[in-house]
Amino acid sequence: MERRALISVTDKKGLDNFAKTLTDLGFEIVSTGGTLKFLIEKGIKVTPIEKVTGFKEMIGGRVKTLHPNIHGGILYIRDNKGHENEIVSEGIKPIDIVVCNLYLFKETVKKNPTLEDAIENIDIGGVTLLRAAAKNFKYVTVIVDSSDYEIVAKELLEKGNTSYETRKRLCVKAFTHTADYDSAIETYLSEVLIDNKKLRLSFDSGVNLRYGENWHQTASFFKKYTNEPSVANMKQLHGKALSYNNYLDIEAALNPAKELSQYNAAVIVKHLNPCGIATGKTLLDALKNAWDGDRVSAYGSIIALTRNVDLETASFLKGKFVEVIVAPSYNADALEFLKNKSKDIRIIEIGKLFTSEEKIYKFLIGGVIEQDRPKGLYEKWECVTKEPFPESKKNLGLFTIIATKYTKSNSIVLGMEYEKDQFKVLGSGVGQPNRVDSLKKLAIPKIYENLENMWNEGKSKVDKETFFKEKISDCVLVSDAFFPFDDTVKVAAEHNIKYIIQSGGSIRDKEVIETSDKFGISMIFTGMRYFNH
């Protein structure tokens, strides 16, 4: 019995070559409308759909394939004698391959069309074809994605038919395609017709994690497609299975690393907070200086690097306990060193760093919040004090803003330029109910601890007091939001901090500025808040 393939697609990428393969293998190709015209223009023999149905395309193309001669040929069970006899008696020929993808509904509604135009882009026949072919996957091959042409053609050429395993996979892909399509239609019409805004999210490829947030909890990770380098598409090269906390910490390290991707940079994270961030002339310089940001917290940390890891950089981690290292790529000798360092260390390859996702989500019990991804570092760059903010400090300020964006609020971060055009976090205070505690009780002690380490390692020829004073006076302090009172400014002044960046917008801005002027502090208002809950 002659084999048939029905082809009706919007996306015609690679279709001519695939259709030619089918005709070479003896398939009769049945097609519709624009697809028919395309194949004829490519010199491929095609049977118009109306020769099969006995009806021309009707009512402006709304009815093309909805006919027993089509769906009977797709849906009948090949090894059911009753079905076989009925198909033969009705003169219906089998359809063994269905190639179909749907009208571009999502793309259409993005252009804010009229309701009538949107409705005309709701595919009926295509969805029915896909559901019918997918339902009968035991016998019928259904293709929704041009990337599957190659494997189907290969199996047909080598075996005469597609494998059952391939048809199972293509079946699920087809139902995923129609489910996503129906979801897009429902979401649009729900808002337009009945003013009910809906959000439907789809995740798949679920994997069990080593354990959940705590040992007694189980957890799984499900993926959503994205081309952005992320935990969804990372490649684990070595080490133990990842846990819930590992996934969250990897993302927490990757986010600032992406914003620093133009530099040799290192980000060290512990419990979702960066405990060390630095840039460097080399990747090794960046990693050393990030590690010095908090040597205690770096124990058992997650490290994200912005460049290919060489052996010199990898060797810095000798004798240091690290849970995860994430980087775009690794030299072979660096990878071998890290593997030999520990059988447990998770080594993650992430590819080139960039951002593409526009929205982020926060799941709550009974709901989810969708919001814009935080973009940019400032809306304005306004010096509001008598003391000017030097242009030479701006890049340090921007680096410190990036570090602040990815700490948990309330947060204060101090950045320093440890070499010309190379920056590091000298100290931070994060996750506190009030900002003055973030500075006074956390950031300031950490700054002095790190400066003590630098002094003890002989990094200055002046006396200790002078060294501390000079280094702190060169730092830039960034707050994740405005100062509700001037108390944080007073603490900063006590420790010789001279440069502050904050959002502005408090009802006490005037008081804060006056206090800054009193102590000779230069202050920038950015107009942008960096809360991270």
Give catalytic residues, as residue numbers. 135, 271
Task: Report residue 46 CA to chain centroid gap.
Answer: 43
Cα distances from 320 to residues 285, 303, 305, in angstroms, run 16, 12, 16
**Rounded to 5°, angle at Cα 335 from 342 and 282:** 110
Cα–Cα distance for residue pair 315/326, rounded to 1 Å: 15
Cβ atoms of 523 and 502 closer than 8 Å: yes
Radius of gyration of the chain (CA): 31
- Rounded to an integer, what is the distance from CA 212 to the centroid of its chain? 21
- The three-state DSSP-derived secondary structure of 388-435 is CCCHHHHHHHHHHHHHHHCCCCCCEEEEEEEECCEEEEEEEECCCCCH
d(CA 481, CA 435): 9
Spatial distance between the Cα atoms of 13 and 87, rounded to a whole number of angstroms:
34
* CB-based burial label for 210 (10 Å; 0-12, 13-18, 19+): middle
Compute the distance between CA of residue 30 and CA of residue 48 in angstroms, rounded to an integer. 6
Pairs from 41-49 (Cβ < 8 Å, separation ≥ 24): 42/16, 44/16, 44/19, 44/20, 49/8
DSSP 59: G
Q: Residue 71 contacts by C-beta under 8 Å, 6 or more apart in sequence?
A: 65, 128, 132
Residue type for position 225: Y
Are 51 and 26 a contacting pair, CB within 8 Å? no
Nearest to 275 by CA among 407, 377, 374, 401: 407
**Rounded distance, CA 488 to CA 187, Å?**
47
